[in-house]
Amino acid sequence: MTPAGPRVLDVVLAGRVPYRAALEWQRALAQERLAGRCHDLLLLLEHDPVVTMGRLAEGANLLRPDGIDVVEVERGGDVTYHGPGQLVGYPILDLTRYRQDLHWYLRTLEEALIDGLGTLGIAASREPGRTGVWTGGRKIASIGVHVKRWVTWHGFALNVTTDLAAFDRIVPCGIPGVVMTSVERERGVGSGEWSATALWDETVQAVVAGFERAFQVSAQRVEPVALPV
């Protein structure tokens, strides 16, 4: 069983993982968490280009998939895009150790990202009535989750150096007219002053620190276990 004591968050930096493999991986990890055989986890990774359709997704919001994979999933929300340069986070958390309140969980996920973006010098906020994180009226992070017996999976997608033109395939999150943005665009670092790798590493550090503060956990990096192939 998971030992009692201070809340520990195992952080797995998994690199590029195909979406369907990552989906099965987090489902399996959620079962492990339900059984008490692992700590809370935060998987941080990237995906190859893919469009995912949540439980509330409407087909009309998929404009032109352009041949990339489209996956229907159990998370909340509408349609979104994942691709290179986007930091995707899948928290596998037992909310009985925090608060058994889905609204609280969504707001705390937003707070973790807002905190991390603040560290990066980006003033981010919530948009009333809409889940996700915004800056200057532009959406920088999407959130869609699933909870079973108070254990979470799915999570967030934060655009770091994402090709924002890829969102033209969809109506992001089902919000007509939404403008997507990225850490790179908001920081104005596309001139080569910083490398994409350095920006990625800085963003990962900031997001993990944001999780520590928002969820009041102690994060520790661990190596991937049962990484899908």
Q: Which residues are catalytic?
A: 173
Return d(Cα 104, Cα 177) in angstroms, integer. Answer: 28
197's CB contacts (< 8 A; 6+ apart) are: none
The one-letter amino acid at 100: Q
DSSP-assigned letters across all residues of 124-159? -EEETTEEEEEETTEEEEEEEEEEETTEEEEEEEEE
CA 93 to chain centroid: 14
170: DSSP letter: B
Give the N- to C-terminal CA distance of the chain in Å, as an integer. Answer: 28
Give the residue carrying structure tokens 């998370």: 75
